[in-house]
């Protein structure tokens, strides 16, 4: 009973904190507020069964579409929870996040990977076309003021690309995604939650 009460308290604490930290974050490039969210460890509850189901399903799509890849750049890597899953399908992992707090924890989680606390337009590993075999942006695009520019940058840096986003964001993000030639789409479902997954090849 005490364990159950502690879990409920942690859940309530997380909800209250995120309600405060994420004010004005959607579609605004509000890096300071996103970093504030990470003053709490695992603010998005990435250790939950819900998120693990998404990671697993995303890996299945990657494996089916691209097989094992050499290098992957993950936009919005957070504390490295999904990076651990991407590492199962890639030889080299690179992750960026606008939160220095998140990146510090990601580096501790995956010492073999390379991380940087920057946005996509300032990543430090080279600007040449198709620098990475795969560039991913999972649950990121709806926080950005210009999803189209981010997708264009992903296509420049990546030989292949993949995005996922929560179904309610389809109205805002979907039209930008649809402009990518050769786009493939599918859905990820877990319980009552749905995410759209889109992927493409640019080589």
Of 6 and 118, more confident: 118
Tokens of 36: 């504030």
- pLDDT of 3 reads 67
Q: Per residue in 182-191, pLDDT tens?
A: 999 999 999 9
Beta strand spans in 27-108 (E) = 69-75, 90-96
Mean of pLDDT values over 17-22: 92
Confidence at residue 134, expressed as pLDDT on a 0 to 100 scale? 98
CB-based contact 141:170 (threshold 8 Å): no
What per-residue confidence (pLDDT) applies to 1?
59
Dump pLDDT digits (tens) for 128-158: 999 999 999 999 999 999 999 999 999 999 9
Distance CA 174, CA 179 (A): 9
Instruction: State the average pLDDT for the chain.
Output: 95
Distance CA 146, CA 169 (A): 14
* 158-166 β-sheet, strand order: 114-116, 90-96, 69-75, 132-138, 158-166, 193-201, 184-190
Q: Give this prediction's pTM.
A: 0.94
The domains of the chain, with CATH numbers, are 49-201 (3.40.50.150)
Of residues 76 and 28, more confidence is placed in 76
Looking at residue 8, what is its pLDDT? Answer: 79
Percent of the chain with pLDDT over 70: 98
83: CB partners within 8 A, 6+ apart: 74, 77, 93, 95, 106, 109, 110, 113
3-class secondary-structure state, position 93: strand
């Amino acid at each position: 009973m005490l364990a159950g009460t502690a879990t409920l308290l942690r859940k309530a604490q997380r909800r209250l904190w995120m309600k405060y930290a994420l004010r004005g974050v959607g579609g605004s490039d509000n890096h300071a507020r996103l970093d504030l969210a990470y003053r709490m460890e695992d603010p998005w509850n990435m250790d939950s069964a819900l998120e693990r189901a998404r990671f697993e399903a995303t890996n299945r799509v990657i494996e089916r579409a691209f097989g094992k890849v050499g290098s992957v750049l993950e936009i919005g890597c957070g504390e490295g929870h999904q990076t651990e899953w991407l590492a199962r399908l890639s030889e080299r992992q690179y992750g960026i996040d606008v939160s220095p707090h998140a990146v510090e924890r990601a580096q501790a989680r995956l010492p073999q990977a390379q991380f940087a606390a920057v946005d996509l337009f300032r990543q430090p590993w080279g600007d040449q076309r198709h620098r990475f075999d795969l560039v991913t942006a999972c649950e990121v695009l709806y926080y950005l003021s210009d999803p189209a520019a981010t997708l264009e940058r992903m296509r420049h840096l990546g030989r292949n690309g993949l995005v996922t986003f929560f179904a309610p964001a389809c109205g805002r993000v979907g039209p930008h995604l649809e402009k990518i030639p050769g786009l493939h789409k599918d859905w990820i479902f877990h319980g009552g939650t749905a995410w759209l997954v889109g992927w493409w090849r640019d080589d």
